[in-house]
Structures are given as C-alpha cells and as structure tokens.
Amino acid sequence: MTGNADPGDLGSILAVFAHPDDEAYVAGALMAVASDAARRVVCVTATRGELGFPDDDPRSLAERKALREAELEACLGVLGVGEHVWLDYPDSGCAAVPVDEPAARLRSIVDEVQPDTVLTFGPDGTTFHEDHIAVGCWTTLACRAASWTPRLLYTTNTPEWAQRFADAVAMDDVMMVDDVPTPTTPAHELAVYFVADDELAARKARALRCQASQVEPLVEQAGVDAFVDLLREECFRLPTGDDWPD
C-alpha cells in the first residue's frame, strides 16, 4: 500500500459526490475520523437525489428533495461534518451539464477550503452512474485548475470486498450497466485502505441509516450484520494518466 503511514489521517478533507448518501457510503468513516481530530471537513453534493425513489412513490419532486435534504443533514450530523454545499444540478442530469461551469465552481471551493485531500469518484463512477462520472470529471478539472494543490483521490473497492458485496446484495440493483464487472483495485495498489473498528463502523451505519429512503432497502436485503461489515472498508486510489487525459 502506498500513501499515508496512517491511512486514517487525510488532513483536512473536501468530499465531492453526486447524491446524498454517496459521501457516507464511500468516506463516512474517514470524514468522522477527520472531524473528531478537529480537521476541517467540507462535503459537496451535486444533486438533491430527487429521482432516487420507486416509480410509484407518491411524493412530489419538491417533497422528495426536502426529504433527502433532511436525511443528509442528519447523516452528516452523526459523522460530525458541519460544512456542506449543494451544487443543485438535476438528479440523473449531471452528464448533460457543460463541464466548465461546475468545474469553475468547484475550483473556487478548492481554493477557498484549501483541503489537504479531495475525495471523489474516478471515471468508472464506482457503479458507472453518469452523475458519478460527471462529478468525478468536474472535480478533477477543478483540482487541476485551482491555485491550491490538494491530494486528489478516487474511491474504489478491493476485489475481495466486491465479492462479499455481491454475496449479500443483488448487483443488478447497484450497477448502472449490465454485464460489466464491478470496478476494483488490488489492495497493494491503493493509496488509502482504511478499515473502521466496531465503534466507527456502527457510527457509520447509524449515519447512513439516517438516509432511510435510500438505505433501508439495502439493509433489509443484506441484513444488519452484513450491512455493517460491508461499511468497514474505505478505499481510495491515486489518479493515473489513463483516467481523464489532459
């Protein structure tokens, strides 16, 4: 493994993700560790996740947005994250947004926050979700253009974790592209491989379950114990020249 001797200490963190709950799934434990250590942690969410409901959900889009806003606020409160920014792009519409405007907004945030570490999606978006991919691209361009130079990291998973996840959850419910293997990175190639202890994993699970509209179906499918176990690992890799070429 490369990177920090203590992979749990990333310094100050700027976490940039697409939908409410992305941040807690992939970096909730690391953000909690940073917050507990009095590091600055800023979370940016591109959309309000208004489409993340069953087709027969009776709520209006405004009601869905309000619910997800409240759920995310409660989740971040459990993690100790007090700074949050909405970009207010349309759910499932980020790929259609011209990149210059969101990249410029994120560049300004990078220069204002001056984080030690920026966490976001790589070009696979973890699940090949187009919103995830777009947000990762915007964030990468922002970091390249910013006056401040943070350490940019892309979320990923180990092959072993992906197998455990597939054993517990129907992958068709998660992956956005059919018949494509889950993107993974071998542990020895990771920049950060953090495993939460029992207390921290339970805290992360409590935080995520604040976002009940999205998370409870997964908990019911996997079972509580498997769900908590799957939350323990948070893995990140460094960008490579094959990700988003200049």
Query: How much is the pLDDT for 16?
Result: 98
In the β-sheet with 192-195, what is the strand arrangement from edge to edge? 83-86, 41-45, 13-17, 117-120, 151-156, 233-237, 192-195
Q: How confident is the model at residue 170 (pLDDT cuts 50, 70, 90)?
A: confident
H helices of 9-60, in order, are 22-36
> What is the CA 233 to chain-centroid distance, rounded?
13
Degrees, nearest 5: CA angle 121-126-131: 60
Distance CA 17, CA 84 (A): 11
Query: How much is the pLDDT for 118?
Result: 98
Residue 109, Ramachandran bin (φ over 0: left; ψ between -120 and 50: alpha; else beta): alpha
The CATH topology of domain 13-237 is: Rossmann fold (3.40.50)
Tokens (6 digits) for 97: 């947004």
Domain boundaries, the chain: 13-237
Mean pLDDT over 44-50 rounds to 97
Query: How much is the pLDDT for 175?
Result: 64
How much is the pTM?
A: 0.95
Which residues neighbour 8 within 8 Å (Cβ) at sequence distance 6 or greater? 30, 33, 194
Distance CA 140, CA 107 (A): 9
How does DSSP classify residue 235? E
Query: How much is the pLDDT for 32?
Result: 97
Distance CA 139, CA 197 (A): 30
Which 3 state secondary structure label does DSSP give 228?
A: helix
- Are β-strands 117-120 and 41-45 bridged in parallel, bridged antiparallel, or unpaired? unpaired
Over the stretch 120-152, which tens digit does the pLDDT of each residue have? 999 999 999 999 999 999 999 999 999 999 999
- The count of residues in the chain is 246
Over the stretch 13-44, which tens digit does the pLDDT of each residue have? 999 999 999 999 999 999 999 999 999 999 99
Q: Are 108 and 61 in contact (CB under 8 A)?
A: no
Residue 21, Ramachandran bin (φ over 0: left; ψ between -120 and 50: alpha; else beta): left
Which 3 state secondary structure label does DSSP give 13?
A: strand
Over the stretch 83-94, which tens digit does the pLDDT of each residue have? 999 999 999 999
Which 3 state secondary structure label does DSSP give 85?
A: strand
